[in-house]
Amino acid sequence: MSRSNAKQPDTLYTRLFAKLYNPVMEKLEARLLMDMRRALLTQARGRVLEVGAGTGVNFPLYDPATQVLAIEPAQAMAEQAATVLQQLNASHIQLLEAGVGDAEVSAQLGEGSLDTIVSTLVLCTIPDLEQALKHFRKWLRPGGQLLVLEHIHDDRQPQRWIQSAVTPVWKHLAEGCYLNRRTDELLKDYGFAVETEDYHYTRWVPFYSAVLRMEEKEKNG
């Protein structure tokens, strides 16, 4: 596993968060998310970037014919992802301890160099969403695809109100996660065209999954 000069500080809290991540997510994964991940990742093709790979939960779902660069800036998460990689013995996946916006990542990715970008439960957390989407646009080849799984701000009440009220505290407890981003709308604003999209409403949070493509005029413009 390569190391990043810009990796996030490794603290007791980030270690605890990484340790608890899979156990906390287990029931939701079994009930909903794993099926959504599987459906999404069967679409991954060619040269793939997975942003914010976390504990490596998506790794077993990639077709070995893909070439995946998985980036993860949190050391404790990246260590768990590295263990999953070892267990899978997956030579088609390379893991880099770094994040979007990190020079080490940009150095590996030329303009239009990717067929697919995978982002699952990351756009809720990434601090500079606008910068990240600009990078995605740059790195994807014309017609390249962005595969997204995300929880989004509700359109139901009182959930919508609660998500906004809770976010200032929640983002400190959950590594910067915002409960009130309308990522589905933002992606369209940033020039991604929807090929397929799905909404799943749990009692407290809606989940969104989509296959999006860079519109040619946006890419060239």
Instruction: For residues 2 and 63, give the distance between their C-alpha atoms in angstroms, rounded to a whole number.
Output: 23
Report the nearest approach of ligand SAM to the CB of residue 61 (Å).
11
Quick check: 132 and 105 in contact, CB under 8 A? Answer: no
Specify the pairing of strand 192-201 against strand 93-97: unpaired
From residue 9, give the alpha-carbon distance in Å to each of 18, 104, 175. 13, 17, 12
Report the nearest approach of ligand SAM to the CB of residue 195 (Å).
20
Which C-beta is closer to ligand SAM: that of 18 or that of 214?
18
Site for ligand SAM in 39-58 (CB under 6 A): 51-54, 57
Number of residues engaging ligand SAM in binding (CB under 6 A): 18
Q: Pick one of 100, 140, 152, 212: the residue that binds ligand SAM (CB under 6 A).
A: 100
Question: According to the binding rule CB under 6 A, does residue 60 interact with ligand SAM?
Answer: no
Question: According to the binding rule CB under 6 A, does residue 79 interact with ligand SAM?
Answer: no
Question: According to the binding rule CB under 6 A, does residue 125 interact with ligand SAM?
Answer: yes
Site for ligand SAM in 147-186 (CB under 6 A): none
Q: Pick one of 80, 96, 99, 116: the residue that binds ligand SAM (CB under 6 A).
A: 99
Of 164, 136, 154, which Cα lies nearest the Cα of 199? 154
Which C-beta is closer to ligand SAM: that of 53 or that of 211?
53
Instruction: For residues 189 and 130, give the distance between their C-alpha atoms in angstroms, rounded to a whole number.
Output: 11
Report the nearest approach of ligand SAM to the CB of residue 218 (Å).
22
Question: According to the binding rule CB under 6 A, does residue 77 interact with ligand SAM?
Answer: yes
Question: According to the binding rule CB under 6 A, does residue 93 interact with ligand SAM?
Answer: no
Which C-beta is closer to ligand SAM: that of 120 or that of 159?
120
User: How many Cα atoms occupy the beta-carbon half-sphere of 54 within 13 Å?
Assistant: 21
Which C-beta is closer to ligand SAM: that of 57 or that of 211?
57
From residue 46, give the alpha-carbon distance in Å to each of 92, 145, 172. 11, 11, 36
Report the nearest approach of ligand SAM to the CB of residue 74 (Å).
4
Instruction: For residues 134 and 193, give the distance between their C-alpha atoms in angstroms, rounded to a whole number.
Output: 15
Specify the pairing of strand 93-97 against strand 114-120: unpaired
Token look-up 């890419």 returns 219
Q: Copy the structure tokens of residue 62.
A: 């990639």
Q: Which residues bind ligand SAM (CB under 6 A)?
A: 51-54, 57, 71-74, 77, 99-101, 120-122, 125-126
